[in-house]
Structures are given as C-alpha cells and as structure tokens.
Chain A
Amino acid sequence: MKEKTILLVEDNPDDVALTLRALKKNNISNDVVIARDGVEALDCLFGTGKYEGQDVETLPVLVLLDLKLPRISGIEVLQRLRSDERTKFVPVVILTTSKEEQDLIDGYRFGANSYIRKPVDFSNFIEAVRQLGLYWLVLNEAPPLGG
C-alpha cells in the first residue's frame, strides 16, 4: 500500500462512484483502495485472502467505513482493527447511511474516530467530504507507526 492511501470500505458501487467523485471535486488526490465488503477490508489490512503477500507495512492514512456490509459488518471490521496492536490507531471514519442510535453507540463503543451520515443532497455530501479531507488528511497528525 502506498503512503497516505485512503481505504474506502463500501459495497454499493453507486456510493463508491459518488465518493470518488466527491474526493476528486475536492482535489483530494490520495490513492484510494476500495474494499467491497468486510472480508476484503480485513484482507487488505492484514495481507490475507486476495491481498496475500502484499505489503501491509504501510497502513492507510484513513479508513472510510460503511456499516452495512455483506459477510463481515463494518462494526466487526472496526472491532478487529482495534483489537490488533498494529492497526489499533488507524483513523476510522464511519461513513454510512443510518443514524440509528444503536449504530452510533456501537461505532463509538468500538473506537471509531468519527461518525458521518451521508447526506442525500449531493452538494452537502461534497461539502462533508471536503471538511473530512481537510481534517483527517491535512490538519490531523497521524499516529506514529506501529502504535
């Protein structure tokens, strides 16, 4: 994984396209790796499955995590990330559709750094991605490698 890669965990292709578009609109030019479900996300982070043998030394600068995913849910991905020494400090922003109380509680309980609900109005979404990029990719100091 290249330096400062964003890992986008999202199963809906429309949402993938729109998120990429929003990033582009905001001139965020970081590499984006896309995982289509929870299993792929974990494979990518831990070098298993289809990412077997890939370099996992470099961690993503930011994980954008959807919650409702096939196979392994976003919350489980978050739990696995936080319980591993190597990945426990990776910034994770939950980027999802719902603001159900239970999702919010679970998200924060398992250590999400932020929780953003995707607005339906695309203009608002672009603005949300702009602020998110500014904060996590520019203002925020990343955790030291290896925790």
Chain B
Amino acid sequence: MQNDTNKYRRLFEDSVAGMFWATFEKGLIIETNPAMRRLFGVDSFEGTRATDFYVRSEDRERIKEQLLRNGAVRDLEILFKRKDGSEFWGSHSAWRYADQEDVVEGIIIDISHRRWAEDALRRSEAKYKTLFNCANDAIYIIRDSEIIDCNPQTLKMFGCTQKEILAAQSPIRFSPPLQPNGKDTRVKFFEKIGKTLSGEPQSFEWKHYRHDGTPFDAEVSLNRIEVDGEVLVQAIVRDITERKQAEEKIREANEDLRRRSAELEVLNRELEAFSYSVSHDLRAPLRAIDGFSQALLEDYYEQVDEQGKDFLRRVRAASQHMARLIDDILVLSRISRAELRYGTVDLSALVSTVAAELQKTNGKQEIDFIAAPGIAVKGDPNLLRIVVENLLNNAYKFMGNKSGTIEFGTVMQDGRPVYFLRDTGVGFDMAYMNKLFTPFQRLHREDEFEGIGIGLATVQRIIHRHGGHIWAEGEVGKGATFYFTL
C-alpha cells in the first residue's frame, strides 16, 4: 500500500500533464504538480482561484455545470491564461467525487500547438474557399472520372445547376464526341486524367459544350490533389472563346495580307516585265523615225523644200521628246519599285554640288544661291539626289530670264525639321497647287518652259517612299517654295 502511494506520488510529480485539486464551489486551488505550475508559469498557486486562469469566464461556468450534472468533464478545449497574461489552449478533464462534493480533481494538457495549426488551416481554407468561389475560371474536382464538386463559375460557364452538373457525372458529357484535332474525346479525357494522376500536371485546349449544346473553346489545367488521403483531380477550365475568335481574326488578317502581298508581287513582276519591254521595244521605232528623217534630210536635201525640211525636223523633235517621256516614265515606275537603301545624306553638300553644275549651264543671268550648311538626313542617297536635281532644275528653269535668289534651308514645324527650296522665279497660282505633283500635268506651256511634267511627280513619289510629305507655296511672278519632310 505504501508502495502504491509512492508509485502514484511519483507519477503525480513527474507527469507532463498538469494535475490539480481544487475546491468545487470557490475554486480554491489546493494542490498542484510541477507540470501544472510550469504550465501556468507560477511557483505557487497559493492565494489564486481557478477563475483567474480562464480567458472566458463562461468556460468555468460550463465546466461547473457539467460537473454538477455528470460528475466529470472530458477533454474540453479551453483557452487559459498564464500569470503573465499569455494564453494557451488546454485540454481539460476533471472529476468530482460523490463522497467529497467540494473537491475537484483535474488534468490540463497543453494543446496550443495543435489548436493553432488548426486555426491556420481554417484560415487558409477560408482563403481558398473564397478563391474557389470567386474565381473567373471554372474549378471542379474529379474523383475517378466523375465531378464531385464545382465552384459557382463552373455552373455559369456550363449554364446549368449544381445538381445537373453532378448528375452529368463526367466532363465528357459536356464535350463533343470528337475534339477538333479528330481525337476521340473519351480516349483523350482518360489519357489526360491518367497522366495527371501519375503526377504529370496537364494543360491543353479542349472543345466543350454548354448545357444547351452551344460549343465553346476552353483551356484546361489538370492537377493531382490529395484530400484526406484520397487522390483527386482538380480541373481549372477557362473559356477562351473570345481569345480564339481574336486569334482566328488575326490569322485571317494575316492570310489576307499574305494573299495580297503575293498578288502585289505578281503585279510587280508583271510591271517589271512591262517596263522592261517598254524600255526595249518602244524606243526602237523612235530611233527609226528619227534616224530615217535625218537620212532624208541629208540624202535628199536638194529634193525637199524648206517646208518639208521643217516637217522632218518636227518629226525628229517629236520622236526625241517621246523618247524622253518614255525614259522619265520608266524612272518614275522604277522609283516606286526600287528597294530603299538607307544611308546618311548631306543634303547641304548635295544641293550645293547640283546647284554649282546648274549655275554653269544656266550662266546667262545672275542667280544667287544660298544653302544652309550641315543639313544631314537619313535616306536613299540615289533617290534623294533625284529629288534635289528635279527641285533645283525647276528652280533654275522657272527663274526664266530674271535674276534672283535660290535658297535651300530648314525650319522646324511641330518638332520636326522641314526642308525647303525657295526661288524668286515666275511662281505659280496656288489654285493649281494639287496639279503640281500629278504626272504629266504642267502649269506652263511648252514654248514657255520645256518639260514633260513628270519631275515633281517623281519627287513626290520618292518623298512618300521615305515616309515624308511635300507641298508648295507660290505666287505668280514672285516665286515658289517647295517644302518637304523625310
């Protein structure tokens, strides 16, 4: 007996569970073991009451009530507070003895660790529940091949009730028999589920039906999840109908573009062949007309009277004019087709060089030429030379017999440089401004100023090919200014 007492005493002293005796009515603590004192962070419970240690006083009332009714409480999870005010969860059991009605014997085990882990889990679950319920994607859980749970978006996407979706059992019911690539839906579905279950997450496009039979394109992700030891598949389905339609539109647009560019290429080749043949075949007869007219003039000089000679000279002049026309048209058409070769072009230097050449040939009147220095641009050097030659040629030509000034420079407009060439020549009527750049439109009679009216059309085409604009200002008798951007 003595041994037994010692044995229980040792158990009491060494136990990791807190043990105590207290009075039932007043809750005065009579005796505690060391574990109990450690639990509450006190050296002694002397002068304390059980009520001091409950965070919620109603817990103490509940326990008292149950002890009165049943004589015992078992494993109640109670939030306690230590002497220093910190809290912990304890699993609380207590007994009341029939023969000693005012004595309560109790055990408290610290279960904070478990409780807090559970709390975290609950919070995390709540978070995921929100995600699940509010997601824009349909999310559902598949066990074997059956849908066992789904979020509200699933119902919205498939257009049915929870009951209907669960009754349908399998996502196969919401799919056409064959997928767009011709694969059997059932075979593919089980293949995907199988791979997912073996630990390989799947992501693929899928053709689905809504409950009313309208098809839609979906993007499906399958993941293996484990819930309470059970292996399930979580499916996330996104309706990509709009994206698909947009993709289809882009594809069609691209296809259209490809077709048009192919057509354009054919046209371009035809044009190339055409201009090649023009270049060869149209000039040959002109050579004959000119050549034999000249031969007539030489060999039959005596037989042909003055008027006849004049006629022959006109024939020659006309054929040479036509030859020039053909050449210029070919240049114009070549410019439209030629590939741009970009480089840095010193416009100031180019303008000055071309102007110097023209000064030599147009030497009869006095023309001041001024060029702003250091204007460099990015562009095709050969084509820009044609621009400068044409504009300067015009400027010199339309000075007529007047003296005056030709000026090249640049001004800023809307933050971009605008280049200009200004002359003080015969100018033009702004009413005809739009005709300036049209091929073969001339604002002057042939006997006033020679030309065929293709120079500015050529210039405009080159400027356009550089992504720039060209326009002109002028006044009859006062001169003209040509502006361009690149």
Contact = CB atoms under 8 A, between A and B. Distances in A.
A121 B320 contact: yes
A15 B287 contact: yes
Interface in A89-142: 96-100, 102, 118-123, 125
A102 B338 CA distance: 12
A18 B288 CA distance: 7
B286 A120 contact: yes
Interface in A1-27: 12, 14-15, 18, 21
Contacts of A98: 276, 279-280, 283
Interface in B302-333: 316, 319-320, 323
Given A120-B319, A120-B323, A14 B291 contact: yes
B116 interface: no
Question: B281, B287, B323 — which one has the most chain A CB atoms within 10 A of its CB?
Answer: B287
Contacts of B319: 120
B449 interface: no
Interface string B245-287: 0000000000000000000000000000001100111011111
A120 B279 contact: no
B279 A122 contact: no
Contacts of A86: none
B137 interface: no
B279 A21 contact: no
B294 A122 contact: yes
Of the four ranges (under 10, 10 to 19, 20 to 34, 35 or more), the interface on chain B belongs to 20 to 34
A100 B292 CA distance: 26
Given A120-B319, A122-B294, A100 B276 contact: yes
Contact of B287 (A68, A100, A102, A122): A122
A138 to B, nearest CB: 24
A100 B279 contact: yes
B290 A122 contact: yes
Interface residues of A, number: 20
Contacts of B323: 120-121
Contacts of A97: 279-281, 283-284, 287
Query: Secondary structure of the B side of the interface?
Result: helix
Contacts of B284: 12, 14-15, 97
A68 B281 CA distance: 9
A120 B276 contact: no
A119 B283 CA distance: 9
A125 B279 contact: no
B134 interface: no
A120 B280 contact: no
Nearest to B286: A120
Contacts of B280: 67-68, 96-98
Contact of A18 (B279, B283, B287): B287
B126 interface: no
A68 B385 CA distance: 31
B295 interface: yes
Nearest to B285: A14
B291 A21 contact: yes
Nearest to A99: B279
Central interface residue in B281, B283, B291, B323, by most chain A CB within 10 Å = B291
Contacts of B279: 97-100
A18 B276 contact: no
A91 to B, nearest CB: 23
A2 B292 CA distance: 30
Nearest to A102: B276
Contacts of B295: 18, 21, 122
Nearest to A19: B291
Contacts of B285: 14
Contacts of A99: 279
A59 B337 CA distance: 42
Contacts of B290: 120-122
B276 A122 contact: no
A120 B294 contact: no
A98 B278 CA distance: 9
Nearest to A98: B279
B287 A125 contact: yes
B288 A15 contact: yes
B228 to A, nearest CB: 80
Contacts of B276: 98, 100, 102
Contacts of B320: 120-121
A122 B294 CA distance: 7
A68 B277 CA distance: 9
A125 B292 CA distance: 12
A67 B295 CA distance: 25
Given A98-B276, A100-B276, A120 B283 contact: yes
Contact of A14 (B275, B288, B293, B294): B288
A16 B92 CA distance: 126
B248 to A, nearest CB: 42
A13 to B, nearest CB: 9
Interface of B: 275-276, 279-281, 283-288, 290-295, 316, 319-320, 323
Q: What 4 A-B pairs have minimum CB-CB distances, sorted nearest first?
A: A120-B323, A14-B288, A122-B291, A122-B294
29 contacts: A14-B287, A14-B288, A14-B292, A15-B284, A15-B288, A18-B295, A21-B291, A67-B280, A68-B280, A68-B281, A97-B280, A97-B281, A98-B276, A98-B279, A98-B283, A99-B279, A100-B275, A102-B276, A118-B287, A120-B283, A120-B286, A120-B287, A120-B290, A120-B320, A120-B323, A121-B323, A122-B290, A122-B295, A125-B287
Given A68-B280, A122-B290, 10 more contacts: A14-B285, A14-B287, A96-B280, A98-B276, A100-B275, A100-B279, A118-B287, A120-B287, A122-B294, A125-B291
